[in-house]
Amino acid sequence: MAERMTKSFTTAAHVTVVEEVDVTELVLLREAFKGSAEKRGVKLTFLPLVIKAVVPALKEFPYVNSNLDDERAEIVLQKSYNMGIAMDTEQGLLVPVVKDVDRKDIFTIAGELERLAGRARAGQLSLDEVRGSTFTITNLGSIGGLFSTPIINYPEVAILGIHRISKRPLVRDGKIEIRDVMYASLSFDHRVFDGAYGARFMKSVIETIQEPRKLLAEIL
């Protein structure tokens, strides 16, 4: 992991875009599905919902879901949507992979996240469980921090950081309302795509998170 992080930081042209996200509807959506998740024996966190919100944006902006082959100087567009999830463990940072998230519902993803987290904590992850990611999400929400500038998980070209959710005043339709808000940050390799492309990708993710009807089409 140290070698990959060093190679990523010294090779990729890192740029980070930070956005404020109104997750009020996401909070309500999670509450609505928590009971169904418990009946299936899984705990529904916000992460499976964010994962499903990212999928349509990756399809719309395929260069975000790519690898850069430095030796051949080629960009390799990935046909799979395999989500690396950065996890903090006693052994240090580990990134197990939930594969084919575009073909799984939120309950299946939630169950796989629980299983992988347990194996990561026990130091039992197999090589197959940490290989093949095409995009990575790092979630610092439970720990703290307003936002971060995460390092890309080489050889991927982008990583999404999601952070603490807190109630803050937002202006909506000319009125101040108390909403559930978090910051999201996208670090990407500027050699593969530019800031405008990255900003449009983030806009797509945020629109899906903030519009429940769009998210409902993805989560089930």
Half-sphere exposure of 114 (CA within 13 A, CB side): 15
**Residue 14 is among the residues annotated as catalytic for this protein:** no
Handedness of CA 196, 76, 138, 6 (dihedral sign): negative
In b/e form, how buried is each residue of 38-64, taking b as 16+ CB within 10 angstroms? Answer: eeeebebbbbbbbbbbbbbbbeebebb
Q: Name the catalytic one among 179, 190, 191, 214.
A: 190
- The closest of 91, 83, 85 to 2, measured between CA atoms, is 91
Q: What is the CA radius of gyration of the chain?
A: 17
Backbone angles phi, psi at 101, to 5 degrees: -65, -20
**Residues with catalytic annotation?**
190
